[in-house]
Amino acid sequence: MSQDFKRRTIVNWLLGGGVIAWLSAIFFPVLKYLQPPSIPEAVVSSVKAATVNELANNSSKIFKFGNKPGLLIKTPAGEWRAFTAICTHLDCIVQYRDDLEHIWCACHNGHYDLQGRNISGPPPRPLEEYDVNIQGKDVYVSKRT
Amino acid sequence: MKESILSWLKNRYPVDSVTEFAQKKKVPLFQGTIWYYFGGITLFLFLIQVATGILLLFYYRTGADQAYESVKFLMTKVHFGWLIRSIHSWAANLMVLSAFIHMFSVFFTRAYRKPRELTWITGMVLFLLAMAFGFSGYLLPWNELAFFATKVGTDIVGAVPFVGDFLLTLLRGGSDVTGATLSRFFGFHVALFPGIFTLFLVIHLAFVQVQGMSKPIGAKEEELKTMPFFPNFVLRDLLIWLIVLNVLAILAVFFPWELGAKADPFVPAPAGIRPEWYFMFMFQTLKMLPAHIAGLEGETVGVMAFAIAGIFWILIPFFDRSSQRGHKSKLLTYIGIIVVIFILVMTILGYTLS
Ligand code: FES
């Protein structure tokens, strides 16, 4: 009797374990399949974002920094600034408002000042700032290291 | 003729038991009978979604460089293309609306009580899938609004502790919303979700058939007036479906669904980005939370709170002891009312606050 019982327990464990192994053998590849392979991103550390004459004071431009948008600003005082254009709140793309003279996210009314600091609305963090270098007629933007 | 077809069938299938079953089914008549129609309305709208969805598939092309153009072509060149798309969009919204009404009426009448716990749970699965349909379908025309709504929506999913990042890549098919996301959402919307939805719908309806209509809680069997389900109630159902179809046609014709501008990942978000109305209350709540709560990101806290509330809601039949004993608990009625008010207030705030 107890012999029998033991045998049954063992068989149950084996069967149960078999089913689990079988299911994971199916679902593991499926889950992995759904996760896209990470394509090595061409690491961009510096791009030419504009030419010097392209922007007037108090205006801006979206440029491509790799496959992400960046925001290049020429402040009312004529200084160059560059940030990622991706809002730290929920990923929307921010814009420069020449009427407010600072950066604005339309999605949930987030505001950043000209240093990229979040000054009002929901964004929890400042925007990442890039370095701007002028070389001849070209405006280069590069990641801070 | 009719006789001979019937006898041909009878020789092969248990036709009698089916007709007998249909004749025995009764619908209780009381003040709340009107709420019984909303399940059927939701079903009807779902059928419209299937039909119009298949039609849209004939012209729709997925992919970031074709999706918008194909919808535009459908709406401007294809005969009645605008109508089919408009009906699909409107019916989706009405379907979610009637699912909301259906769910809350079941909640307030405690129709989920024993023995219908599993009917409630399958219903909740259907409800969540309906919202998932809405979310995935919204992106497919690849316009600006949808693009940013999807960015925001998937980013919220990314706030889920531990599995957030995994889910985010799973949904987006990468780290950003791109053509890969569009392909995925298309797959979800036209293949994965319909499959699961149909399965649960069949189970849900089978449960309803097996157990019959729920009677009002605490009603005395012998005092309750009833109406035969077939044909009386079915005919009323059909009449209401006809009315719904008319409402739908009016909305679709006079308020055709806009397409808007094509999505461009290198253009700032336009003002007025908002999710569909049925996500608005969650969205507005998340927006009003402070950036940090007790050392966690406000968003994470909000998302967790909604998840816990949702799980509680799904399991309500198991918590609600008093309905099993045949009376309504006041507390749950108040909770239900608070939930409804919360949803309404947050939705209104979402549309009125800038
Ligand atoms: S995404 Fe920018 S404020 Fe919400």
Min Cα distance A71 → chain B (Å) is 10
Beta pairing partners, A134: A139
Q: Judge contact between A73 and A80, C-beta under 8 A.
A: yes
Chain B residues whose CB is inside 8 A of the A62 CB are 266-268
Q: What is the mean pLDDT of residues B125-141?
A: 96
Query: Average pLDDT of chain B?
Result: 91
Q: Is B291 on the interface with A (CB under 8 A)?
A: yes
What is the DSSP secondary structure assignment for residue B191, as one 8-state letter? I
ipTM exceeding cut-off 0.85 for this assembly: no
B206's CB contacts (< 8 A; 6+ apart) are none
The 3-class secondary structure across chain A, one letter per residue, is: CHHHHHHHHHHHHHHHHHHHHHHHHHHHHHHHHHCCCCCCCCCCCEEEEEECCCCCCCEEEEEEECCEEEEEEECCCCCEEEEECECCCCCCECEEECCCCEEEECCCCEEECCCCCEEECCCCCCCCEEEEEEECCEEEEECCC
Report how far ligand 1's centroid is from the alpha carbon of B215 (Å).
48
Within chain B, strands assigned E span: 26-29, 225-228, 292-293, 296-297
Cβ distance A106 to B270 less than 8 Å, yes or no, reads yes
What is the rounded CA–CA span in Å between residue B314 and residue B152?
A: 26
From the list B264, B52, B246, B38, the residue with the least C-alpha distance to B137 is: B52
What is the rounded CA–CA span in Å between residue B169 and residue B149?
A: 16
Min Cα distance A75 → chain B (Å) is 18
Cβ distance A62 to B266 less than 8 Å, yes or no, reads yes
Cβ distance B169 to A35 less than 8 Å, yes or no, reads yes
Which tokens sit at A118?
């979040």
Please tell me which residue of chain B has the smallest CA distance to A121.
Answer: B287
A89 lines ligand 1 (CB under 6 A): yes
Cβ distance B266 to A67 less than 8 Å, yes or no, reads no
Residue count of chain B, please give it. Answer: 354
Please say if the pLDDT value at position A103 is more than 90. yes
pLDDT at B232: 85
Min Cα distance A104 → chain B (Å) is 10
Which residues of A make CB contacts under 8 Å with B?
Answer: 34-36, 39, 62, 64, 67-69, 85, 87, 90-95, 105-109, 122-124
DSSP string, B34-78: GGGHHHHHHHHHHHHHHHHHHHHHTT---STTTHHHHHHHHHHTS
pLDDT at B293: 78
Q: Is B151 on the interface with A (CB under 8 A)?
A: yes
A88 lines ligand 1 (CB under 6 A): no
Most confident of B19-23, B183-187, B220-224, B233-237: B183-187
Report how far ligand 1's centroid is from the alpha carbon of B280 (Å).
15
Q: Which 3 state secondary structure label does DSSP give B145? A: helix
Cβ distance B155 to A91 less than 8 Å, yes or no, reads yes
A93 lines ligand 1 (CB under 6 A): no
A92 lines ligand 1 (CB under 6 A): yes
A107 lines ligand 1 (CB under 6 A): yes
Alpha helices in B109-143 (DSSP H): 117-139
Atom of ligand 1 nearest to the CA of A123: 3
Taking the alpha carbons of B300, B303, B308, B311 in that order, is the dihedral positive or negative? negative
What is the rounded CA–CA span in Å between residue A72 and residue A81?
A: 6
What is the rounded CA–CA span in Å between residue B332 and residue B207?
A: 24
Chain A residues whose CB is inside 8 A of the B273 CB are 92, 106-107
In this structure, the strands spanning A46-51 and A138-142 are: antiparallel
A70 lines ligand 1 (CB under 6 A): no
Q: Please count the other Cβ atoms lying within 10 Å of the Cβ belonging to residue B330.
A: 9
Q: What is each CA distance from B115 to B99, B213, B332, in whole angstroms?
A: 21, 11, 19
Q: Which 3 state secondary structure label does DSSP give B326? A: coil
Q: Tens digits of per-residue pLDDT, B211-269?
A: 888 888 877 777 788 888 888 888 999 999 999 999 999 999 999 998 989 998 888 88
Please say if the pLDDT value at position A1 is more than 60. no
Q: Judge contact between B241 and B40, C-beta under 8 A.
A: yes
Q: What is the mean pLDDT of residues B317-344?
A: 91
Q: Is B279 on the interface with A (CB under 8 A)?
A: no
Q: Tens digits of per-residue pLDDT, B274-328?
A: 888 999 999 889 888 877 777 777 888 889 999 999 999 999 999 998 888 888 8
Q: Which 3 state secondary structure label does DSSP give B289? A: coil
Residue type present at position A60: S
Q: Tens digits of per-residue pLDDT, A104-132?
A: 998 888 899 999 998 888 888 899 999 99
Q: Tens digits of per-residue pLDDT, B4-16?
A: 998 999 899 888 8
Q: What is the mean pLDDT of residues B18-37?
A: 83
Which of A84, A86, A90, A97, when mutated, tests ligand 1's pocket best, judged by the most ligand atoms within 8 Å of its CB?
A90
pLDDT at B256: 92
Q: What is each CA distance from B178 to A83, B57, B115, B149, B276, in whole angstroms?
A: 21, 21, 46, 13, 21
Cβ distance A68 to B151 less than 8 Å, yes or no, reads no
Report how far ligand 1's centroid is from the alpha carbon of A86 (Å).
9
Q: Is B351 on the interface with A (CB under 8 A)?
A: no
What is the rounded CA–CA span in Å between residue B179 and residue B348?
A: 33
Q: CA A128 from chain center: how many Å?
A: 10
Please say if the pLDDT value at position B341 is more than 80. yes
pLDDT at B354: 60
Min Cα distance B267 → chain A (Å) is 7
Q: Is B163 on the interface with A (CB under 8 A)?
A: no
What is the rounded CA–CA span in Å between residue B293 and residue B298?
A: 5
pLDDT at B191: 95
Atom of ligand 1 nearest to the CA of B155: 1
Please say if the pLDDT value at position B273 is more than 60. yes
A17's CB contacts (< 8 A; 6+ apart) are none
Q: Tens digits of per-residue pLDDT, B67-101?
A: 999 999 999 999 999 999 999 999 999 999 999 99
B176, B269, B291 ranked by CB distance to A105: nearest: B269
Angle between helices B330-352 and B81-108 (to 10 degrees): 150
Band of pLDDT at residue A42, cut at 50, 70 and 90:
low
What is the DSSP secondary structure assignment for residue B11, as one 8-state letter? T
Q: What is the mean pLDDT of residues B36-60?
A: 95
Q: Tens digits of per-residue pLDDT, A66-85?
A: 888 999 999 898 899 999 99
Chain B residues whose CB is inside 8 A of the A106 CB are 268-273
